[in-house]
Structure 1
């Protein structure tokens, strides 16, 4: 993947007002033919958990929205049975301090920090798209901004996202901002390639969507949230948006933007922040048809790795990965993605102020 990818999303959304399209249409084939891990791992931990991780025992669960979840979106359905083998998982999202150590040891440069190559970038854009002025064609990322008044159309997310030159993991709100004193906050503005690079350095990998959802559910098979079904407990259990989105955040949960990791109760597997705070990358391609395909098989999916190829019915050219968990921007009126089954499709070349990750490990490190 080249540096050009970082900037496509931001420019298309807020500057060029066009849609990102690959020259090659993506197949609608929705199931990876190699979905079964060849060597099943025991449900019992193979050894002591590495520091900062906990063992997630293998088991079977129903992936997707539970029947009583009236906020569920269509791409969270139909529910389908899945089995995952055991694995270790970070008890919280990767922090600024952890990512800083990785950068110090490897001199890694995130996608949001790389110079833009217009000749490469324009290959992804419709023919004839004009070259933006040099003052705009600079490294950056997407930063949230409040609106001054109520928003009648919540489908137009360009109203609260701003392409900010100079925004990256070191400067989460753009030039003049920093992460001083925020070493224990989740690292953000992380593109998929950045998360993969960290995983390689750490000797780990990103979770599959099934692993992530199984770990978040932690045995609560019929619950909407990791703590149960009581929405009134949201402010004490997750960092989300409370108040009128995106105008006013009442901060009943204590934070307006990201919160330090482990600020809220853990789930029954000992995992923090599986609801709210920042969205988290998974390794799965997003494919609109994938859940339907798994459900129609009539069998328990064994360690599914996601769709064989990306496909979005709203944009057949889109190449997106699944992210899970919701963020500090999720509200009951907008997406309520602090629900266990909630999922979103995001371009792997894009980092944003509310997107981070955590890692998993199979076996003892």
Structure 2
């Protein structure tokens, strides 16, 4: 493990994973909820930051997939108006723009840079990029079960680490969409985009920003029958699907479109995909099966 990377040691044990709530997305396979057990493991308190990823790149000369491809996907309101107008829409998703030369170092394309945000989550990293970082760091991505166990912070049955209300008493506790209906009317005081990886109070296990901010890649492949098909002890899905699991939601989550900021929510993307709202955190322990 890298010097200076302090992972949280979690004892593991049984917990209730998934949800039977009607607000879950049936097509994502958020349930049925069930009791599962995870072995002791370690996990990072935050997602990997720009500064940490830069150290990896300096040491290895690694080039991310977005850099090799020559473009990545950026949410339209993160872009200056002129660049937004010149960047084509992603097929079927008008709020995403295909931005030439957008990558982890230039999150909104040419003219943007990470120099002023070293503590923000690294974004525009594919699952394959995350795997390369993990190999260098002597770590790995958490499994979906490890991620949910850690994100729950020892509390079964909650929608969110602190309870069921997204903003109890009006207090904002995570970085999700603020304002009117997604994707065109953000609140005047809020700018769409990631905030610092350690923003907001941690959960009761010490993890920051498990809800919102950026999606987090997991080890598992993604299939909607996950809860019916995987073991109750250290669940891990490695069946071929062409997709990899992501957890936690992002700054774009909103009840009017996508409430996947919830702890039980799941999503996926192709392992080569990258965007301005996808990052990862690292873990160690319980080596992958198969």
Q: TM-score range by the shorter chain?
A: 0.7 to 0.9
Partner SS for 1:301: coil
Alpha-carbon distance in 2 for matches of 1:197, 1:50: 19
Closer, same or farther: CA 166–308 of 1 in aligned 2, 3 Å = same
Larger Rg: 1
Alpha-carbon distance in 2 for matches of 1:222, 1:264: 22
Q: Report the alpha carbon displacement of residue 174 of structure 1 after superposing the two structures with TM.
A: 0.9
| Cα-to-partner distance string for 1:285-337 (whole Å, 9 max, x where unaligned) | 0012222334xxxxx61111114222xxxxxxxx1000000000111111111
Q: Does 1:219 align with 2:129?
A: no
Alpha-carbon distance in 1 for matches of 2:202, 2:127: 26
Alpha-carbon distance in 2 for matches of 1:261, 1:157: 30
- 1:118-157 alignment runs, 5 A limit: 139-146=70-77
| Cα-to-partner distance string for 1:223-275 (whole Å, 9 max, x where unaligned) | 111111123338521100012210121166x5531101111111010100101
- Contact 1:207 1:359 (8 Å CA) reproduced: yes
Alpha-carbon distance in 2 for matches of 1:107, 1:157: 35
Question: Of residues 219, 223, 227 in structure 2, which corresponds to 1:287?
Answer: 223
Partner SS for 1:213: helix
Unmatched tracts of structure 2, length 5 or more? 82-90
Partner SS for 1:159: strand
Q: Does 1:347 align with 2:270?
A: yes
Closer, same or farther: CA 189–235 of 1 in aligned 2, 3 Å = farther
**Runs of at least 4 residues off by over 3 Å:** 49-52
Of the structure 1 ranges 254-263 and 342-351, higher mean CA displacement relative to structure 2 is found in 254-263
Q: TM-score, normalised by structure 1?
A: 0.70
- 1:166-177 alignment runs, 5 A limit: 166-177=101-112
- 1:1-365 alignment runs, 5 A limit: 51-65=5-19, 67=20, 69-74=21-26, 75-114=29-68, 116=69, 139-146=70-77, 158-233=93-168, 236-243=172-179, 244-250=181-187, 255-294=191-230, 301-310=232-241, 319-362=242-285
- Contact 1:239 1:277 (8 Å CA) reproduced: yes
Partner SS for 1:142: strand
- Contact 1:264 1:273 (8 Å CA) reproduced: yes
Alpha-carbon distance in 1 for matches of 2:37, 2:60: 36
Alpha-carbon distance in 1 for matches of 2:52, 2:101: 21
Aligned residues: CA RMSD: 2.1
Alpha-carbon distance in 2 for matches of 1:231, 1:165: 35
- Contact 1:226 1:267 (8 Å CA) reproduced: yes
| Cα-to-partner distance string for 1:2-60 (whole Å, 9 max, x where unaligned) | xxxxxxxxxxxxxxxxxxxxxxxxxxxxxxxxxxxxxxxxxxxxxxx974321111111
Q: TM-score, normalised by structure 2?
A: 0.87
- Contact 2:166 2:173 (8 Å CA) reproduced: no
Unmatched tracts of structure 1, length 5 or more? 1-48, 117-138, 149-155, 295-299, 311-318
Closer, same or farther: CA 264–324 of 1 in aligned 2, 3 Å = same
In structure 2, what is the equivalent of residue 124 of structure 1? none
